[in-house]
Amino acid sequence: MAGETPLALNMLLGCIVLFMYIIVSAGLINFNNFLLQRFPHPWELTALHMTFCSLMSLVLYGIAPGLFPAMERVERQKGHLLKFVLPLGAFFAASIYMSNKAYLYCSVAFLQFMKES
């Protein structure tokens, strides 16, 4: 039993992490709402998001390719990669667009409720 964390401490840590998740989530929803009330263009915002993330991933891969250990196998199968990754990227972009669009029509409380359920 030496070295084990007491159950009460684990429960307290779990509650703290859960509370922090809810606080950060609510802050992110409020910030997104603030942003989209002043820049009500979710399609352009999604395009900027996807472009920035793609470019930063390429820069990081160029600087430190060791952070991407699976890329060695993927580089030999580029057609296979595009067959599966391209549709996932398109669906992810559509998901981001629709969630950004929801900020224009729904209240922050409703969005928080939907995100946490």
Does the structure show a pLDDT above 80 at 4?
no
Q: What is the pTM of this model?
A: 0.64
Q: What is the largest CA-CA distance in the chain?
A: 57
Residues 19-38: pLDDT tens digits?
Answer: 999 899 888 888 888 888 88
Pick from 109, 117, 114, 103: which is nearest to 42 by CA?
103
